[in-house]
Amino acid sequence: MKTFLLSLGAAALLALPAAGQSTATASARPASAGAPARPTAALSADEQLLTGLVDQVATAIEKHDMTALGKLMAPEYVHHNPNKTSSARAEELAFLDTWGPTRVKRLVPVRVNRYGNTAVTVSTLIYSGTEAGKTTSQSVQTMAVWVLRDGTWQMAVVQSKVMPA
């Protein structure tokens, strides 16, 4: 279950939409994303954009949209899992494609640091679903490194860890 949810956290970050989106589009949150700690107006443009992308990743996971996830992953994408293994882009997509219905909820505001064409996001998300017929729920903190290429943000590196209950 931990492997499932940890990979889920990574997948969420993988699904972040491209940078070609406007701030207004990126700041829209799906119903499952949870409430931010402060109003959207108080967020910087970078915080609005990248928070919106994290929320869109959650929506893509909930919709089981592997095509959207794949487009948002850089060719060199790698996820460093909490179980001390790493998954490349193709492995991650194949694993996520095996998941059943999953609900994703953001717990706290996304922390955003941007350095030119690179950004780092840290988010904590709760993943809920069923595994082997049992209901599961796990809080996962994910740090993602984003790269801006040709006007599109893509996930290059993700590291995730399970948070204590």
Report which secondary-structure segment, H or E, holds 106: strand 102-106
Listed in sequence order, the DSSP H helices in the chain are 2-14, 23-26, 45-63, 66-71, 89-96
What type of residue sits at position 153? Answer: W
Are residues 81 and 143 in contact, defined by beta-carbon separation less than 8 angstroms? Answer: no
CA 91 to chain centre: 16
pLDDT at 5 over 70: no
Mean pLDDT of the 38-43 span: 69
Query: Which pLDDT value is given to residue 55?
Result: 85
The CATH number given to whatever domain includes residue 156 is 3.10.450.50
Most confident of 15-19, 39-43, 118-122, 152-156: 118-122
Q: Residue 4 has what pLDDT?
A: 41
Map residue 92 onto helix, strand or coil: helix
Instruction: Give per-residue pLDDT as tens, 41-56.
Output: 689 999 999 998 888 8
Residue located via tokens 């992308």: 53
- Average of per-residue pLDDT across 115-131: 94
Q: Residue 14: pLDDT above 70?
A: no
Distance CA 54, CA 25 (A): 12
- Of the two residues 116 and 12, the one the predictor is more confident about is 116
For residue 40, which phi and psi values (nearest 5 degrees)?
-55, -35
pLDDT at 108: 87
Distance in angstroms (rounded) separating the CA atoms of residues 89 and 2: 20
Residue of 5 and 44 predicted with greater confidence: 44
Its domain, for residue 141, covers: 2-162
Whole-number average pLDDT of the chain: 79
From CA 109, how far away is CA 26, in angstroms rounded?
14
**In terms of pLDDT, which residue wins out, 39 or 58?**
58
Helix (H) or strand (E) holding 97: none
Q: Contact 107/139 with Cβ under 8 angstroms?
A: yes
pLDDT (tens digit per residue) in 60-118: 888 999 899 888 889 999 999 999 999 999 999 898 888 889 999 998 899 999 999 99
Per residue, the 3-state secondary structure of 14-52, as one string, reads HCCCCCCCCHHHHCCCCHHHCCCCCCHHHCCHHHHHHHH
What domain count does the chain have? 1
